[in-house]
A = this chain, B = another copy of it.
């Protein structure tokens, strides 16, 4: 099966991707890593304009998409804050979409209403990238997670096929882990261990999806058991903002820290987290006492967001093939990259 062309496509769901397409995208991301690190420059999108429409606050996704598009040579225009003035005057999303289509070459949109991005995309002829639609999906986050995971495993001589994957924490809410399960299901013979408090289990539909594709699916509320033997430990923050009232934090046994890893984890496990992690006392999110543990891949993971989003934008705008010939060395200072092959992989970062 050859890769699907992404040129001109909306990117709304992680369901759109098959393995050959992912592999082609990730090969392009590999090529773009020196650009992401400020070691090389490309200007293939010089003259192109991205519209960045965030109807919901964001720091990480917004800055990361900005930087990715700018490093391809393009320019970014933002809507003011989280409100769209014209919509407050009664304009339909379809009208807004058609209007913005006359300004930009591509749109990245975040909207708290799950349907909004679909409505927006249906009304425009330029590509729309879903930057997070409420409790729905966050496909670019899922892509960067999978890319980072595949590069971690490759470094360790492992493959995703056949791996034991532990997903830990609030598996009920949180679009990131849902999108990731969809992408992981494209691989073969996984064991997916869902480790969550009883009231925060993975939705049944996703468990069935994975099982239906031939993966072994396990569920437990005991992290000590669930983490044992896992090749990937994927921790998640408690999505408190999606609960109606106040919510109790994770119990102590859900805190993934040095002690828990010493008791359960493989020496070559990979520990990931979509970030932000909640570092407040008592939150029991992924512990900072792992900051110098080489298994902790959370910053290599977030770094992967730039090359993956660059590869996605380049593919959607049909300039992927122009990348190799376009690369030239950057001439500004760039500190030694603190990246995938370093352990400990960052400096000066208190643990």
Q: Find the residue from A42, A63, A83 having the highest chain B CB count within 10 A.
A: A63
A115 within 8 A of B: no
Give which listed residue, B67, B97, B105, contacts A104 with CB less than 8 A: B67
- Given A80-B54, A278-B89, A278-B90, A103 and B332 touching (CB < 8 A)? no
- Given A105-B334, A125-B338, A92 and B58 touching (CB < 8 A)? no
Q: Are A332 and B319 in contact (CB under 8 A)?
A: yes
A114 within 8 A of B: no
Q: Are B335 and A99 in contact (CB under 8 A)?
A: no
A66 within 8 A of B: yes
Q: Which of A41-68 contact B (CB under 8 A)?
A: 41-49, 51, 54, 57-60, 62-64, 66-67
A240-B70 Cα distance, complex, nearest whole Å: 39
- Number of A residues whose C-beta is below 8 Å from B? 96
A58-B122 Cα distance, complex, nearest whole Å: 24
A102 within 8 A of B: yes
Q: Are A349 and B123 in contact (CB under 8 A)?
A: yes
Q: Could you say which residues of chain B place their CB within 8 Å of the CB of A319?
A: 331-333
Q: Are B86 and A48 in contact (CB under 8 A)?
A: no
A83-B57 Cα distance, complex, nearest whole Å: 9
A84 within 8 A of B: yes
A322-B329 Cα distance, complex, nearest whole Å: 14
* A140 shortest CB reach to chain B, Å: 14
A75 within 8 A of B: yes
Q: How many copies does the complex hold?
A: 3
A104-B70 Cα distance, complex, nearest whole Å: 10
Q: Which of A193-231 contact B (CB under 8 A)?
A: none
Q: Nearest residue in B to A104 (C-beta to C-beta)?
A: B67
A98 within 8 A of B: yes
Q: Are A80 and B81 in contact (CB under 8 A)?
A: yes
A91 within 8 A of B: yes
* A76 shortest CB reach to chain B, Å: 7
Q: Are A47 and B41 in contact (CB under 8 A)?
A: yes
A285-B75 Cα distance, complex, nearest whole Å: 35
Extra contacts besides A38-B105, A80-B81, A125-B335 (12): CB < 8 Å: A47-B330, A48-B332, A59-B80, A59-B84, A62-B80, A80-B82, A86-B276, A89-B237, A90-B283, A95-B276, A98-B299, A317-B332
Interface pairs A-B: 8 shortest CB-CB: A318-B333, A90-B278, A41-B47, A91-B276, A102-B303, A66-B77, A70-B75, A86-B276
Listed A/B pairs (22) with beta-carbon separation below 8 Å:
A49-B70, A58-B80, A60-B86, A64-B103, A67-B103, A75-B75, A81-B81, A86-B275, A91-B278, A92-B279, A92-B288, A94-B350, A95-B275, A95-B276, A95-B277, A98-B299, A98-B302, A122-B348, A122-B350, A316-B333, A318-B332, A319-B333
